[in-house]
Amino acid sequence: MDIQADVIVVGSGVAGALLADRLAGAGIDVAMLEAGRRVDRSAALLRFHEALIKTPESPYPPTPAADFPLSHDPDHWYRQSGPDTFKSTYLKVVGGTTWHWLGTCLRHLPSDFRLRSRYGQGVDWPVQYGELEPFYQQAEAELGVAGDSGEDLGSPRSGGFPMPAISQTWLDRVITRALEGTDYRVRATPQARNSVVHEGRPPCCGSASCIPICPVQAKYDATVHVDRAQRKGLALYEETTATFVEVGPNREVSAIRYKRPDGSGGRVRGRVFAIAAHAIETPRLLLNSRSEAVPDGVANSSGQVGRNLMDHPVQLSWALSAEPVWPYRGPISTSGIENLRDGPFRSDRAAFRIHIGNDGWSWPTGAPISLAGDLVSQGLRGQALRRELREQASRHVQLAALMEQLPDPANRVLPDPHARDPYGVPLPQIRYRVDDYCARGLAAARQVHDDIFSRLNATQVQHHREFQGAGHIIGTCRMGDDPGSSVVDRHCRSHDHPNLFLLGSGVFPTSATANPTLTIAALSLRLAAEIQRTVCESC
């Protein structure tokens, strides 16, 4: 039942898939463990259409052997111990959470890597923007990012995007016109979504279901690179859950134990191990792997594994525009306001970016379906109902400010002392709090939203009273130069175990404001060369 390869990758999301593709392409023997199974797109799309509760997870029902958190039930899978509720989720399927991501592909700003030095907050990264820029360029090519190459989004570029930008919507244009002469700059959002036929995949068909599923795979998901890596020799093991990391007497990882739904199990052995199991599941695995050799868990001599959990807490606001803006069509977002992501204010409160939603009030209220129900309850029927539904739904506007969050060691993932999965691994206990720095950012975002709505002459302005989850799970295994305060080094190699690498947004020292996927991809591509050297040295 044992598995053997030169490099073992745990997790088939974007981080693991890109790494496996690069290594397999270099002739390295790679095996990948994935707790979930492959998704049948047609069947998943049908499940979404038939679902009474339409959530990011509704096309992908969890199984007992590959369970995961649910957006509509924050106490499913997570064991929350407060004081705030952690609201972001992930999937366990081949391709990972890229199945239900939006596709936004923003780069970090140069200042994001120097938050402590510039603004006295958080920590600095051990790498700078200039070191990652070539890998950002590669990542955009690998994922197939559509964007406006002539637009300055604050991150210097060495080349253009591989595809032209996705067309902005009428709603984007109305907001752009209303904000002329202000400090707010509406810009096309770079996104891993085809604007033209690209690598055999069609352009976006405008189905407005990017979250949770693209019906035609115009939006990138990591199965693109899993499939490519398999053609190059990758051995993929589905429904194979890593449960315990074994460490030998030389401090190197010697094997990873795994279990399967049918009760079988074994060990997977290799020269190099790369864990890309997301920022919740990676620390959960490492902390469960306590032994006499590593009494505090694998890679945890610093005590930092599981700590500094972050998200991009969202201020969600919505209103009724004075004129029709025609939402509920096209990609869920095609534009944003990106020039609020940096400035001296970061010494005092969080920065944010504003996502302009093409999905109207669907996120906060469930519209337009809920709107139809409300109008029926008011007694409207027939043509009167149709007219009022069109009149109101055509004017729905939604803004979402995604907030920077500082690392806090008290925000953490721990093994729950009571609840376990079917394989005996403790469920993730989450301790989480949004601090005053972030709260001041949320308050500033509400003011900006009010200003924008006023320029649209909007009515029925509403701000969600609670922050929302962005689906961006960050921190818990952060990188740094100091082994006493970080888990991995600047190359994502464990300070404790020379043949163990950790991938994904878990290694981010700070959250910044950019959606994390493109930076995950850039770090994974950068890491591939380091792992290739490590494998060669061990031969």
Q: What are the structure tokens assigned to 9, written together?
A: 């990758």
| pLDDT at position 346 over 70 | yes
> What pLDDT, on a 0 to 100 scale, did the predictor assign at position 367?
94
Per-residue pLDDT of 165-199, as tens digits, reads 999 999 999 999 999 999 999 999 999 999 999 99
pLDDT recorded at residue 73: 95
| Residues 442, 446: Cα–Cα separation, whole Å | 6
Q: Is 424 exposed, middle or buried (0-12, 13-18, 19+ CB in 10 A)?
A: exposed
Q: What mean pLDDT do residues 234-241 have?
A: 98
Strands 426-432 and 79-83: parallel
**pTM for the structure as a whole:** 0.97
List the structure tokens of 150.
Answer: 């002539």
pLDDT tens, position by position, 391-412:
999 999 999 999 999 999 999 9
DSSP, collapsed to helix, strand or coil, labels residue 432 as strand
The CATH code of the domain at 3-60+71-538 is 3.50.50.60
Residue 438's closest CA among 414, 458, 413, 466?
A: 466
* pLDDT above 70 for 534: yes
Q: What is the pLDDT of residues 413-423, one digit of tens each?
A: 999 999 999 99
The one-letter amino acid code at 88 reads S
Query: Token match 């029925």: residue?
Result: 460
Reported as a pLDDT band with limits 50, 70 and 90, residue 537 is: confident
| Percentage of the chain modeled with pLDDT above 70 | 100
- Count the Cβ atoms, other than its own, within 10 Å of residue 150: 8
Q: List pLDDT tens digits, range 61-116.
A: 999 999 999 999 999 999 999 999 999 999 999 999 999 999 999 999 999 999 99
Per DSSP, what are the bridge partners of residue 83?
Answer: 432
| Backbone phi and psi for residue 525, each to the nearest 5 degrees, phi listed first | -65, -35
Rounded to the nearest integer, the mean pLDDT of the chain is 97
Ranges of each domain in the chain: 3-60+71-538
Q: Are 178 and 452 in contact (CB under 8 A)?
A: yes
Q: pLDDT category, 53, cuts 50, 70, 90?
A: confident
Task: Name the E strands within 433-482.
Answer: 459-463
| Apex 179 CA angle, 173 and 181, nearest 5 | 125
* pLDDT per position as a tens digit, 440-474: 999 999 999 999 999 999 999 999 999 999 999 99
pLDDT for residue 535: 87
Nearest of 116, 118, 108 to residue 156 by alpha carbon: 108
d(CA 462, CA 470): 19
Inform me whether the pLDDT recorded for 539 exceeds 70: no
The pLDDT of residue 366: 93
**Cβ-count burial 77-88 (b if 16+ within 10 Å, e if not):** bbbbeeebebbb
**Given the structure tokens 């596709």, which residue do they identify?**
103
Helices (H) and strands (E) in the chain, counts: 12, 18
What residues have CB less than 8 Å from 422, skipping those under 6 apart? Answer: 64, 65
CA 490/CA 480 separation, integer angstroms? 6
Q: Is residue 463 among the annotated active site residues?
A: no
Structure tokens at 36: 């979930």
Span 133-160, average pLDDT: 97
Q: What is the DSSP letter of 430?
A: E
User: Which of the residues 108, 472, 495, 497 is marked catalytic?
Assistant: 472
